[in-house]
Amino acid sequence: DQQVKQNSPSLSVQEGRISILNCDYTNSMFDYFLWYKKYPAEGPTFLISISSIKDKNEDGRFTVFLNKSAKHLSLHIVPSQPGDSAVYFCAASTTLTGTASKLTFGTGTRLQVTL
Amino acid sequence: DAGITQSPRHKVTETGTPVTLRCHQTENHRYMYWYRQDPGHGLRLIHYSYGVKDTDKGEVSDGYSVSRSKTEDFLLTLESATSSQTSVYFCAISETGQYNEQFFGPGTRLTVL
């Protein structure tokens, strides 16, 4: 049962335009959400996060929006650049033993930014 | 970049052999995690540690064990490797537990023949 879903396996956007990546979740216990970017043969790199008590967080070209009632979050990249081409993972956090946190990941969306 | 290294980076082994993967950090972070990445599944948590000698199971822990005898090292052992354990393994660390990002190592690609 996939608790975090990224329904678009791929997305192609022109350089300079907005990229919008979407993520849906089913577990109401998720209290923190993150986006990671991954290049081939590298580990995921943290991009931006948002707490469940907020509905928006911005960091430079990246903005994450959270709609708790719809259990939906999205990542906006404006303007998109060729270096943004990568696989983007949405992740949701729950608390474990010893206050560690488990990240539940979506299956990723491959973003290609074209010239 | 967070100081996380994983060794080996690539390994090919045969079914039934034991395998140990190492994660080493220089950040002195308390929390360490092992994930595996497979097509169609994203990353899934195998085991995690919330302190030296404090470990617990994640969602896909069968066939794996871990040990953490010092802050900087977290070992993942496949007691008897199977072909279903062919995967890319990522170690992650975080300074605090809740409401905090995890930083990932470069990964180990393991192939079990």
On chain B, the residues whose CB falls within 8 A of the CB of A108 are: 42
Q: Does B14 touch chain A (CB under 8 A)?
A: no
Å between A96 CA and nearest CA of chain B:
9
Q: Quick one: A60 exposed, middle or buried, by C-beta within 10 A (0-12, 13-18, 19+)?
A: exposed
Neighbours of A28 (CB within 10 A): 9
Per residue of chain B (113 residues), what is the pLDDT tens digit?
Answer: 569 999 999 999 999 999 999 999 999 999 999 999 998 888 999 999 999 999 999 999 999 999 999 999 999 999 999 999 999 999 999 988 777 899 999 999 999 99
- Overall domain count for chain B: 1
* Fold category of A4-114 in CATH: Immunoglobulin-like (2.60.40)
Nearest CA in chain A to B49: A100
Among B30, B61, B102, B109, most A C-beta atoms within 10 A, so best to mutate, is B102
Domain of B78: which CATH number? 2.60.40.10
Given an 8 Å threshold on Cβ–Cβ distance, is A42 in contact with B106?
yes
Q: Does B38 touch chain A (CB under 8 A)?
A: no
Nearest CA in chain B to A109: B42
Given an 8 Å threshold on Cβ–Cβ distance, is B54 in contact with A46?
no
Contact A18, A11 (CB under 8 A): no
- List, for residues A6-38, the tens digit of each pLDDT value: 999 999 999 999 999 999 999 998 989 999 999
Per-residue burial over A68-107, b if 16 or more Cβ lie within 10 Å, else e, is: eeebebbbbbeebeeebbbbbbbbbbeebeeebbbbbbbb
State which residues form the domain around B103: 4-112
Contact A88, A77 (CB under 8 A): no
Given an 8 Å threshold on Cβ–Cβ distance, is A96 in contact with B44?
no
Predicted confidence at residue A79, as pLDDT, reads: 98
